[in-house]
Amino acid sequence: MKVKLRNPDRQVELAGGRVIREVLDELGVNPDTVLVIKDGELVTRHDHVGEGDELEVRPVISGGSA
């Protein structure tokens, strides 16, 4: 399964066949701090991801001053 990470942009290969929460756990990512997009659709951490799926893990935290 291909996983696209942002800030900085990079791609990793991880095992599919599990729920997204487990993928985020492996990445050390707090589910409340990212959008997870599976094949172009927004999904929750409870959704299942298959080996052939493509995920984007998109951070939502910004730190600007105003």
Partner 1 sequence: MKCRRCSGSAVVEVRRHNAAFCKDCFPAVFTEQVRRAIRRFDMLEPEDRVLIAVSGGKDSLALWDVLLGLGYDTTGLYLGLGIGEYSDRSHDTTAAFAGSRGADLVVVDLAEEYGFDIPTAGRKGSRSTCAVCGLSKRYVFNKAAVDGGYDVVATGHNLDDEAATLLGNTLRWKTEYIARQSPVLPATDGMVKKVKPLHRLSELETAAYAFLRGIDYVVDECPLVAGNTQLRYKEAMNSIEAASPGTKAQFFLGYLDRGMPLFERTSRPTVRPCDACRQPTTGRYCAFCRAQAQVLGRRIEEPGPDDGLETARAMSEEVMPAEMYGAAGA
Residues in contact with partner 1 by CB under 8 A are: 6-7, 30-35, 37, 41-46, 58-66
Shortest Cβ 20–partner 1 spacing (Å): 11
Q: Are strands 54-59 and 2-5 parallel, antiparallel or unpaired?
A: parallel
Secondary structure of residue 45 in the 3-state scheme: coil
> Between residues 18 and 45, which has the closer beta carbon with respect to partner 1?
45
**Greatest CA separation found in the chain?**
41
Q: DSSP code of 21?
A: H
Shortest Cβ 32–partner 1 spacing (Å): 6
Shortest Cβ 34–partner 1 spacing (Å): 8
